[in-house]
Amino acid sequence: MKKELVQNAYAIAKEQYAELGVDTDKVLKAMEELVISLHCWQTDDVGGFEKPGAELGGGGIQVTGNYPGKASTIAEMRKDLDKVMSLLPGKQRLNLHAIYGEFGGQLVDRDQIEVKHFQGWIDWAKERGMGLDFNGTLFSHPKADDGFTLSSKNEEDRKFWVEHVKRCRKIAAAMGEQLGTPAVHNTWIPDGSKDTPVDRFTHRALLKKSLDEIYAEEIPTKYVKDAIESKLFGIGSESMVVGSHDFYLCYAAQNKKLICLDNGHFHPTEQVGDKISACLQFVDELLLHVTRGVRWDSDHVATFNDEILLIAQEIVRANVLNRVNIGLDYFDASLNRVGAYVVGARSVQKAFMFAMLEPTELIKKYEQDNKYYERLHLLEMMKSKPFGAVWDYFCLQNNVPFEFECISDIQKYENEVLSKR
């Protein structure tokens, strides 16, 4: 697409939005500050580098597909992430899982990991001026095979996982301290049961006990922000998930933790967008895992759909962007993985931009005056405003390819790099 075309289209769009009192230049500035945390695990289908040739184990996470080009070393992963970031406008962070440390070919068990295994990542992030986020890996491990980790009735196993998460928290704190931006340290566990259990209570009491042990040590929030992530069900935990939304929301509110809302982890008609204003009355900050749920799968590539749009709108309308940490969480092994990052991250950015281009004050006024027809019409009208022209201009400003150009760029990377792996 020609640069002049994009500039001209932007000038027209700017005027159209200005008519409604929306300042597109301001929106472009706000978009520069919107940070998306890229989940490292789309590069290699949540495999990790714990053991040479490691493949994903069980634990409620399933990746399907075998598209060629998956990263199988840290160097490949970094190369892919650099490629992804070169195609994204705006700012990014990187979200690592504990299985992505540099273990030097040694088997370092989860209760043994240390900051040194992630120092390379910290240096890598520092060079790029970006922040890191972190997650314990409480799946794909023999001690998670029976379906329980932090809520295990086997005290040895439970202690093992408590130790793992304590260490993850320290690693996250080191990331936050060295990079000068707090690392969000998120905990998701696969714990649950396939069939109806009779003792949910003990498992939940054990999970509470484990979390209390993990967070016993005070670490300043300028280094690490702890988040907990619920799920509705998983493969193998269809009948009960120990870390349910009720459980974690209560825990987060009572213990000043972040609640992580993964929009693939709720009943299909429940909307995470609706939960934001509820949770933020009781917790200081949220972590979002942005994804696309499809039937039983919670991890398809995010798209610019109504669900994501409502999330973005609720955050922008309530003016709480500074209390929301945005992370991606999907893994699809059936398509170009670099492309999956780029299209998913851009879609999420677009949803936020669309939300920012809304004449919210005007619509709020209609709402307050019971003018519901007018509210509906204005909301519908915004859908045919030249939002794409503002988006293209944002790409131009950021010196990244436009949408269509991304496709050939990614195909080139596939031909030159990915297909040779």
Which residues in this chain contact ligand RNT in the complex, by CB under 6 A? 41, 46, 61, 97, 135, 188, 229, 231, 262, 289, 298, 329
Owner of token pair 């068990």: 109
CB atoms within 10 A of CB 65: 12
Total residues interacting with Zn ion, rule: CB under 5 A: 3
Question: Is residue 329 a contact residue for Zn ion (CB under 5 A)?
Answer: yes
How near is the Cβ of 232 to ligand RNT at its closest, in Å?
10
Q: Cβ closer to ligand RNT: 62 or 397?
A: 62
Contact status: 262 vs Zn ion (CB under 5 A): yes
CB contact set of 372 (below 8 Å; sequence gap of 6+): 366
Could you tell me the two tokens for 123? 């240096």
Tell me whether residue 187 or residue 210 sits nearer to Zn ion (CB atom): 187
Residue in the block written with tokens 């010196």: 399
The one of Zn ion, ligand RNT, none whose footprint includes residue 46, by CB under 5 to 8 A per kind, is ligand RNT
Stated as kind and residue range, the H or E segment containing 185 is strand 183-187
Active site residues: 188, 229, 231, 262, 265, 289, 297, 299, 329
Give the nearer residue to ligand RNT in terms of CB position, either 46 or 351.
Answer: 46
At closest approach, how far in Å is the CB of 47 from ligand RNT?
11
**CA of 169: how far to CAs of 133, 198, 220, 406, in Å?**
10, 33, 11, 37
Q: Which is nearer to ligand RNT, 167 or 375 (CB)?
A: 167
DSSP 113: -
Q: How far is the CB of 412 from ligand RNT (least distance, A)?
A: 29
Site stretch for Zn ion (CB under 5 A), options 67-75, 93-101, 192-200, 260-268: 260-268
Closest residue to ligand RNT, Cβ-based? 188
> What is the DSSP code (8-state) at residue 418?
G
Rounded Cα distance between 137 and 216, Å, is: 20
Taking the least distance from each CB to Zn ion, the nearer of 45 and 262 is 262
Q: Any idea which residue has 């195609």 for tokens?
A: 87
Q: Candidates 63-71, 72-80, 204-212, 259-267: pick the segment binding Zn ion (CB under 5 A).
A: 259-267
* Alpha carbon separation from 343 to 88, 350, 403 (Å, rounded): 9, 10, 9
> What CA–CA distance (Å, rounded) separates 277 from 256?
17
Could you tell me which stretch among 67-75, 262-270, 335-343, 398-406 binds Zn ion (CB under 5 A)?
A: 262-270
- Residue 170 as a binder of Zn ion (CB under 5 A): the answer is no
Q: Work out the number of other CB atoms within 10 angstroms of the CB of residue 354.
A: 23
Query: To the nearest whole angstrom, how small is the minimum distance from the Cβ of residue 75 to ligand RNT?
Result: 22
Quick check: 314 binds Zn ion (CB under 5 A)? no
Nearer to ligand RNT, 97 or 300 (CB): 97
Distance between alpha carbon 60 and the CA centroid of its chain, in Å? 18
Under rule CB under 5 A, which residues in 272-291 are in contact with Zn ion?
A: 289
Which among 2-10, 311-319, 321-329, 371-379 is the span making contact with Zn ion, rule CB under 5 A?
321-329
d(CA 330, CA 266): 15
Contact predicate 10/389, CB 8 Å: yes
Residues whose CB falls within 8 Å of the CB of residue 330, separated by 6 or more in sequence, listed in order: 39, 42, 264, 290, 291, 292, 299, 300, 301, 302, 340, 344
CA 276 from chain center: how many Å?
15
Burial (Cβ within 10 Å: 0-12, 13-18, ≥19) of residue 270: middle
- Residue pair 329/39 in contact by the 8 Å Cβ criterion: yes
User: Least distance in Å: CB of 183 to Zn ion?
Assistant: 16
Minimum Å distance from CB 297 to Zn ion?
Answer: 12
Which among Zn ion, ligand RNT, none contacts residue 41 (Cβ within 5 to 8 A by kind)? ligand RNT
**Which among ligand RNT, Zn ion, none contacts residue 135 (Cβ within 5 to 8 A by kind)?**
ligand RNT
208 binds, among Zn ion, ligand RNT, none (CB under 5 to 8 A by kind): none
Compute the distance between CA of residue 403 and CA of residue 236 in angstroms, rounded to an integer: 39
Q: Which does 100 bind (CB under 5 to 8 A by kind): Zn ion, ligand RNT, none?
A: none
Stretch that binds Zn ion, among 93-101, 107-115, 166-174, 258-266 (CB under 5 A): 258-266
- C-beta of 289 vs 375, nearer to ligand RNT: 289
Residue ranges in contact with Zn ion by CB under 5 A: 262, 289, 329
